[in-house]
Structures are given as C-alpha cells and as structure tokens.
Structure 1
Amino acid sequence: MKAIQFSHYGDPDVLQIQEVADPTPAQDEVLIEVKATTVNRLDLFQRAGSRPVGNLPFTPGLEAAGIILQDSNGFKTGEHVLTTRASLARGGGGYASKLAVPAKDLARIPTGVSFEQAVAAGLAASTAWGGLFDLGKLKAGERVLIWAGSSGVGSIAVQLAEHAGAWVATTASSEERAQALKQLGADLVINHRQQNVGELLQEAGGAQLVIELVSSTLQDSLQAAASDGRIILIGNLGGKEATVDTQAWRLKRVNVLGGGQLRTSVTNEEKFLQLIAEHAIHPLIARTLPIEQAAEAHRLLDSGDIQGKIVLTHA
C-alpha cells in the first residue's frame, strides 16, 4: 500500500509517498481502505519535531474515513466507517491507504454523508461533543461561549450547541469570519481584537459554560463566566500560559476543568454523523487535496488563513 511518511524531522517537504506493507489485522481489528483524512496542528508539530514521535519513519493522521475491506467483528465488506483514533491503528495514521482498526474504534457513516464530510467532522466534532456535553453538561437554554469559532473544533461546537438549544457566543478575528459564524447559528460573534469578550458576555448575563480553545485567554473566560459557571479547557491555540485573577475566580466559584486528549464515545460520534446526514450540522471544509499534496496542505494550515478543515483524499 501507499503511505505518506517522514523519515526525519523538518519542513513540509520531508513528507514523502512510500510503498509499505499492508497491515495484517489482529483478531479484534477490521481492515479498511482509507478514502479521506485531515490535516491537524499535531501533524505539523510531529513533522517539525516539536512533538517527537516514537519511531521513524512515521505516518501521520489522527482520523480516517474509509471502506471495510472484509467482513470482521460485526462489520460487513463495503460499509463506510470513520475512526477518530487512526493514530492508534495498525499500519500508521490516516495518511496511509489501508489501516487495521480496532472494531471498537469504528463509527458507521450513514447514507448521504461523504467520506470528506465525515472526516472533516471527525476528531473536531468528537472533541466538541466531549467538551460541550460529556464534560460541560450543556443544557438547552444555557449561555455558552466558544472561543475560536472559525477553528475546526469551534465551528462544529457552535453548531452542536445551537442545535442543543443553547444561546451561543463565539469569537472571530474579522468581519468575514464573523458573518460565516452567524450563518452557522451563533447568536453573538465578538471580534476579540477590538472588543472586550468578558464585558460583553457579562452584559448578556454571563456564560454558564465556556469552551476554552485558546488558553492564554483564560482570564477573559473567567470574566465572561457566570457565577458557578464551568470552563472546559480544551486547546492552547494562544500558548500554554495564562495569568489569572484568582480572587475573582474564587468569588465567582467558577469550575475550570482540563479536557485532556478529549474524544467522545463512538456511540456519540455516530450521533453527530447522523446530524450531518439530516443537514442539522455542516462541517466546514476549507480545501480538499489529494494525499500526494500533503506537503502543500501542511503549508496551508501553517499559514493561519484557513477557515475549516483541510481534507486529504486517497484515490
């Protein structure tokens, strides 16, 4: 089979297509032909060496959508499936054209949902669902602030929260992105470069739940939160450090919870895939490129100009 790998750390050009042996499934695994994967920030960090991998050469790719190649563990040949745990599969990550995936890690893709849509939702939607519902316990009628609404996780979280009946605020860096987020269902979009996020949320009554994807904005999140509010710390797009007013934190009784490597269950992944089939949510796809252009995809993501996910397709 073919796989995009890097054998040493460096710039995007270290990504090269290689012929490698097909994976042999273990007893609890299912062999799939990968049709689509995505580019995530972690892929860039691994390739550059800032997040070193265990062994080289290495095949990136955190998620994969594809076709079952042979009946196994309750799955039938030809079924369409998604895994948000491709990095744990036998054969490498989603940049490989075949993977042997534990059956417990496979979600069925419903009719009407393309491989590209499924994988563009994929890990982003799994993380968003986990933050909003598994950890955040979001309820209809609550106010939620979602940072970085144009990011992969943010754009899906806005839609999931709106679908759940929440009042949704989010942040953007331009009017163009703000308009796109309003179309996704956001009730309030704040230009964080020009406006005070915490003050505006307090004027709206405070957020019972904050999905914190930036980390360096934690003080703003504490200001934005209602008394007894919840902050789910998922990402650190703005860096790993933040200075906070612990007195205000203590007096407001805000609960800050680290999300860790957050994914929801396969059962819930099938629920959001069904929402895509019903046209209730729409994963944002910025670009679709053949897997052979993985290096170009890394450059595009690194540019910071992308709104939505970059999808890589296998022929």
Structure 2
Amino acid sequence: MKALQFTHYGTPDVLQYLEVPTPEIDQGSALVKIHAASVNPSDVKNVAGAFSHTVLPRIPGRDFSGVVERGPADWLGAQVWGTGGDIGFSSDGTHAQYIKVPIAALARKPAAISHEQASAIGVNFVVAWVGVMSYAQLREGETIAVIGVGGGVGGAVTQIAKSLGCQVVGINSKPVDPHSPAGRRIDHFVAFDEHTVARVRDIQGLAGGVDVVYDCVGGIAFDMALGLAKRRGRVVEISAVGRRRVELDLIDFYHNETQLLGADSAKLGVAESAPLMRAITQGFDRGYFEAPVIAHRYSLAQGREAYASVVQGTDGRVVIVP
C-alpha cells in the first residue's frame, strides 16, 4: 500500500511517500481501507518530534474514516471512523491507504456526513467530550465559557454544550463566523483581551462567574480562565499557548473552591476512544452536531503539502484522501 512515513523528526519535508506492506490482521483486529484522514496540528508536532512516546519509523495520522475490508463478518463493508493517541505514535497511523485496528476500536460513522467530514472530527470532539462530559460534568442549564471558541476543539465544546441545553460564552481573539457551527450556537461573544473577565461578569446573570471554563488556549489565558470561574466552578485546561509554566494566587484559588482539570485525548488509544466516538455518532445522527468545513483536500502523494498547509494555518480542516 501507499503511505506517508517519517524516519527522523523535522519539518513536513521529512515525510516520505512510499510503498509499504499492507498490514496483516489477526483474530483480534480488522483492516480498514481509509477513505479520508485529516491532518491535525498534533500530527505536525508529532513529525517535528514533540512527543516522547513516538516510535520510529512511523506512519503518522490520528483521525480516519473508511470501510472495513477484512475482519469479523458482521463488520465487513461497514463504514467506520476513529481516532487515537496511539495510532500515528506507537503504532502506524492513518495517513496511508489502510490501517490495522483492534476490533474493539470499530465504531460506525454517522450516516449523514461524508468520509471527508467524518475524518476531521475525532481529535477535536474526543478531547471536547472528555473535558465537558467526563471531567467537568457539565449539566443542563449551566453556563460554560469557551476560551478559543474559534478553534476546532472550541467549536466542538460549543456544540456539545448546546446539545445539553447550556448557555455558551464564546471567547476568541478574533470574531467567529456567525454562520459556522460554533458561531450559530454562541449566546454571548466576548473578545480575548485584558478586559475579558470584566465583560463576561457584566453579562446579565454572570456577575459571579460561570459554572465551567473550557480553556483551549492555556498559558497566556490561564489567569483569565481562573478569573471567569464562579465559586466551585470547574476549569478545564488542554493546552499551554505562549508559556507552559503559570502562576496563581493560591489563596484566591482555594477560597473560590475552584476545580482545575487537565484533559489529554492523547492518553486514549484508538480502542479506548471508540466508546466516545459511538456517543458522538449519536449526536450527529440526531442532528445535534455539525461537521466542520473542509478547506483543503490532498492526495497521499501531496502529503508534504497537506502538512505545510496546517503549519501555515487555514480557516477549515485539511484532509488527505488516499
């Protein structure tokens, strides 16, 4: 099969487009023919050497959508999707024509969206789901502030929160497209600057802060996140933009009884992520969630260009179509 592979770390130029053996399956695995696989910022960081658990040589790629070609009889021909913090790192990933996955990793993709759209959802929605549902345990009627609402994870958090019947305060450094899935669901938009906390607390009913803060930025936004949380509020952190070491006023922190939670989807392998993908499928099938915009499509042979476009930044998702 054709695949992208890297044998040493660096810029997207280290990716090689080459022929490699098609994976052989056993009784506990299935072979999925990949119809589409997105390129995430974490894939670019992986190729650059940012993750200590990556084993070389490696085919990168975390997200995929495709069809089961070999495996259990009841799965043959099934349209499936998935993501994982192991594939592309400690085992070969999705930027290839085929991928071998455990049978436990199989999850049927939403019927209403294409393979390309499905391939651009996994990483963002899984870390959003873990942070919102498992850790913060957001409940109907609560208010959540989403810092970095214009990004992929922020948009996913917004959709999940609205499906629960919650109020969403979107915070971003630049305006969010009001016609985007996130833009249509934001109840209040507040610009990211030194006055953000005060502006949020000026919103009717939010003088005491919000129930949950989902901080997709971290680092430079950490003080803001803590400042937005009401008494006994929950703050979810997934990133550390600008700086990885932060300070906090410990007295204010414990007086406010704030809960600080870290969420890392890379800790979930492709099999562990499957139950979350099944739950997310229900959200799409019921019309609660919308797929992201696909900005660019590339073939496997154009893999370096696909990665370079993510480095440069796009307003939509980048997808490889083998």
Q: TM-score, normalised by structure 1?
A: 0.90
The separation in 1 between residues aligned to 2:101 and 2:213, in whole angstroms, is 34
| Map 1:246-261 → 2, pairs under 5 A | 246-261=250-265
Of 227, 244, 269 in structure 1, the residue corresponding to residue 277 of structure 2 is 269
1:48 aligns with 2:57: no
Q: 1:65 — aligned with what?
A: 65
Question: 1:55/1:211 Cα in 2 relative to 1: closer, same or farther (>3 Å)?
Answer: same
Q: Which amino acid aligns with 1:83?
A: G
| Map 1:206-285 → 2, pairs under 5 A | 206-216=209-219, 217-261=221-265, 265-285=273-293
The separation in 2 between residues aligned to 1:225 and 1:76, in whole angstroms, is 45
Q: How many residues align?
A: 311
The separation in 2 between residues aligned to 1:4 and 1:288, in whole angstroms, is 15
> Could you tell me whether the CA contact under 8 Å between 1:215 and 1:242 is conserved in 2?
no
> Could you tell me whether the CA contact under 8 Å between 1:66 and 1:81 is conserved in 2?
yes
Of 276, 300, 310 in structure 2, the residue corresponding to residue 291 of structure 1 is 300
For the residue of structure 2 that corresponds to 1:101, the secondary structure is strand
Question: 1:141/1:308 Cα in 2 relative to 1: closer, same or farther (>3 Å)?
Answer: farther
Deviation (angstroms), 1:253: 0.7
Question: 1:64/1:211 Cα in 2 relative to 1: closer, same or farther (>3 Å)?
Answer: same
The separation in 2 between residues aligned to 1:271 and 1:55, in whole angstroms, is 30
What whole-Å deviation, never above 9, does each CA across 1:147-188 have from its counterpart, x for those lacking one?
111211111111111121110012222235467476330111
Deviation (angstroms), 1:252: 0.8
User: Unpaired segments of 5 or more residues in structure 1?
Assistant: none
The separation in 2 between residues aligned to 1:184 and 1:106, in whole angstroms, is 32
The separation in 1 between residues aligned to 2:196 and 2:262, in whole angstroms, is 21
Q: TM-score, normalised by structure 2?
A: 0.88
The separation in 2 between residues aligned to 1:58 and 1:265, in whole angstroms, is 21
The separation in 2 between residues aligned to 1:253 and 1:91, in whole angstroms, is 41
> Could you tell me whether the CA contact under 8 Å between 1:38 and 1:310 is conserved in 2?
yes
Question: 1:137/1:53 Cα in 2 relative to 1: closer, same or farther (>3 Å)?
Answer: closer
> Could you tell me whether the CA contact under 8 Å between 1:107 and 1:270 is conserved in 2?
yes
Q: Which amino acid aligns with 1:210?
A: V
For the residue of structure 1 that corresponds to 2:307, the secondary structure is helix
What whole-Å deviation, never above 9, does each CA across 1:209-238 have from its counterpart, x for those lacking one?
111221211111111001000011222234
Higher relative contact order (CA 8 A, sep 6+): 2
Deviation (angstroms), 1:13: 1.6
1:303 aligns with 2:307: no
The separation in 1 between residues aligned to 2:63 and 2:128, in whole angstroms, is 15
Question: 1:149/1:128 Cα in 2 relative to 1: closer, same or farther (>3 Å)?
Answer: same
Deviation (angstroms), 1:53: 5.7
For the residue of structure 1 that corresponds to 2:158, the secondary structure is helix
Q: 2:17 — aligned with what?
A: 17
> Could you tell me whether the CA contact under 8 Å between 1:181 and 1:189 is conserved in 2?
no
Q: Which amino acid aligns with 1:297?
A: A
Question: 1:32/1:99 Cα in 2 relative to 1: closer, same or farther (>3 Å)?
Answer: same
The separation in 1 between residues aligned to 2:9 and 2:67, in whole angstroms, is 31
Q: 2:36 — aligned with what?
A: 36
CA RMSD of aligned residues (A): 2.3
For the residue of structure 2 that corresponds to 1:141, the secondary structure is coil
The separation in 2 between residues aligned to 1:269 and 1:311, in whole angstroms, is 19
For the residue of structure 2 that corresponds to 1:229, the secondary structure is strand
> Could you tell me whether the CA contact under 8 Å between 1:182 and 1:189 is conserved in 2?
no
The separation in 2 between residues aligned to 1:185 and 1:54, in whole angstroms, is 37
Question: 1:148/1:33 Cα in 2 relative to 1: closer, same or farther (>3 Å)?
Answer: same
